[in-house]
Amino acid sequence: MLQSASPSAGPDRTATSRAIVLVGLMGVGKSTVGRRLAARLRLPFVDADHAIEEAAGMTVAEIFERFGEPYFRDGERRVIARLIDGTPKVIATGGGAFINADTRALILGQSTAIWLHAHPDVLAERVGRRDTRPLLRGKNPRQVLAELAAIRNPIYAEAHIHITSNKTPHETTVNAILKAIRDGSSAGAAPA
């Protein structure tokens, strides 16, 4: 269960010495929460998928369609390595980024990794609003997300901090992240 924390008066300086990288399944809120977290910490925010699209000159869906997932994952790894450059910032990653062993080692070694976790039903409701996710096209989102969670959650669990994202305002999740960073522990530990 998510442990809420009271909002801090100002930015939390303990988190600003390294990049903060948000990992987790699609639809968990990495980009939305990441933007708000960055604003609270007064740090830049970068969406890794947008950075990949800029570098490639095409959308993630187009990269998947034209070149396949292995090609995309290789480019994703290179972009994330460039983003984790020692400059403090908040980075939202795509759902599969942390699954790549090289990308995961980079994130774990050079940043603070935060796993945002939500139940597949919550995720399916969130991602069902748009048909822009290559791994979900023409499939049952709830089923795909449950299968991905079964495979990926044990890997996401390697992240330094675990935060459960329920059907609550995004600020609640941001507050839980700030509290976990301050306390140096997981808040609302997510199940493996």
In a domain? residue 68: yes
pLDDT of amino acid 188: 46
In a domain? residue 188: no
What are the structure tokens assigned to 38, written together?
């960055």
Using alpha carbons, list the distances in angstroms from residue 51 to 48, 136, 186: 5, 22, 28
Annotated binding site for Mg(2+): 31
**Structural domain containing residue 144:** 15-183
Annotated binding site: 27-32, 49, 73, 95, 133, 152
pLDDT of amino acid 38: 96
Q: Tell me which amino acid residue 49 is.
A: D
Indicate which CATH number applies to the domain containing 168: 3.40.50.300
- State pTM to two decimals: 0.83
Using alpha carbons, list the distances in angstroms from residue 166 to 27, 81, 92, 100, 175: 11, 30, 18, 26, 13
- Which contacts qualify for 59-67: CB closer than 8 Å, 24 or more apart? 60/94, 60/134, 61/132, 61/134, 64/134, 65/134
Instruction: Give CA–CA dist 52/74, Å, rounded.
Output: 11
pLDDT tens for the 192 residues of the chain, in order: 233 333 333 444 444 689 999 999 988 889 999 999 999 999 999 999 999 999 889 998 899 889 988 888 888 999 999 999 889 999 999 989 999 999 999 999 999 999 999 988 888 777 765 555 555 566 677 888 889 899 999 999 999 999 998 877 889 999 999 999 988 755 444 433
Annotated binding site for ATP: 27-32, 133
pLDDT of amino acid 9: 37
In a domain? residue 7: no
Number of domains in the chain: 1
pLDDT of amino acid 69: 84
Annotated binding site for substrate: 49, 73, 95, 152
In a domain? residue 8: no
In a domain? residue 5: no
